Chain A
Amino acid sequence: QVHLVESGGGVVQPGRSLRLSCAASGFSFTIYALHWVRQAPGKGLEWVAVISHDGTITDYADSVKGRFTISRDNSKNTVFLQMNSLKNEDTAVYFCATDGWSFRQTFPEYWGQGTLVTVSS
C-alpha cells in the first residue's frame, strides 16, 4: 500500500526559507518520479514541481522557478522541496504525489495528506 507522509510545514516570514520532506513507503520508490502540488486556502490545485526517478530531470511551475528546488534521496525513500525567498502567495497545503508511470514524468497518482505552509509576517 502506497503511503506518503509530508512534513516540514509551518509559519514562516516572507523572504525566509523552508524545506519540506515527503517520506514514502509501500512501492518501488526508485523507479517513480515524484511531484509536489499545492493548494492555497479555498482555491484549486496548482502543480509545483516534478523530479524523475533518478533525480536527473526536474521541472517547475513558472511561479516557483528559481526559488524552489526539488530533490530526492533514493536511499531514504524521501523527496524534498527546498523553498527559498518565500512570498505570501506561497501559502498553501503542499502535497507530494507519486507519478502514475514508472520511469516517466506524467500525472500524479497516489497523494499524501499534505503539509500546510503559511507565509506571513
Chain B
Amino acid sequence: DIVLTQSPGILSLSPGEKATLSCRASQTVRDGSLAWYQQKPAQAPRLLIFGASNRATGIPDRFSGSGSGTDFTLTLSRVEPEDFAVYYCQQYAASPYTFGQGTKLEIK
C-alpha cells in the first residue's frame, strides 16, 4: 500500500499569511494521481485539487497544488478566515486509495 505522510501535523498561522502543506508518499504516485481535500468540523470533505495541481470547480485561486513522484505540496497564498480546517491528501494511483493523516490549519 502507498502510505502518505502529511506535515506538519498542525500549522498555526494568522490570516493573510502563506500556508505550505506537505504530503510525502512511500512510493511513486504515478501520473500525479493525488488529490487534496478540506474538511471543517461536522462537515463532509470538499475536493480542492486533483491530478496534483488542478483546482476543482469553484475553488479559489489562492489554493494551488504542486509536486510529482513522492513529494506533493498544497499552498494557500494568503490564508482567509474560512480556510482554517483540516486538509487531507489522497492518492488514487493504486488501490487501496489511501489518505494522509491530515494537517490541521489553525488560527495563531
Tell me if B's interface is mostly helix, strand, loop or mixed.
loop
Neighbouring B residues of A50 by C-beta, 8 Å: 95, 97
Tell whether B10 is near chain A: CB-to-CB under 8 Å.
no
Query: Is A9 part of the contact surface with B, judged by Cβ < 8 Å?
Result: no
Instruction: Report the interface size class on chain A.
Output: 20 to 34
Bound complex: CA A111 to CA B40 (Å): 13
For B50, the chain A residues whose CB sits under 8 A away are: 100, 106-107, 109
B39, B46, B90, B96: residue with the most chain A Cβ atoms closer than 10 Å: B96
Cβ 8 A contact of B92, one of A46, A107, A110? A107
Contacts of B101 in A (CB 8 A): 44
Number of CB contacts from chain A to chain B under 8 A: 59
Give the residue name and chain of the A residue nearest to B44 (CB): A111
Which chain B positions have C-beta within 8 A of A25?
A: none
Interface residues of A in 103-117 (CB under 8 A from B): 105-114
Report chain B residues within 8 Å CB of A113: 43-44
A107: which B residues are within 8 A, CB to CB?
Answer: 33, 35, 47, 50, 90, 92, 97
B98 touching A108, Cβ below 8 Å: no
CB distance from B35 to the nearest CB of A (A): 4
CB-CB contacts below 8 Å: B35-66 with A: 35, 37, 39, 43-47, 50, 56
Scan A36-49; emit 1 where CB is below 8 A from any B CB, else 0.
01000000111100
B100's nearest neighbour on chain A, judged by CB, is: A44
Beyond A47-B98, A106-B92, A114-B44, 14 additional pairs, beta carbon < 8 A: A45-B39, A45-B45, A45-B90, A45-B102, A47-B97, A59-B96, A100-B35, A100-B47, A107-B35, A107-B90, A108-B47, A111-B44, A113-B43, A113-B44
Task: Write the residues of chain A forming the contact surface with B, with a CB cutoff of 8 angstroms.
Answer: 35, 37, 44-47, 50, 59-62, 95, 100, 105-114
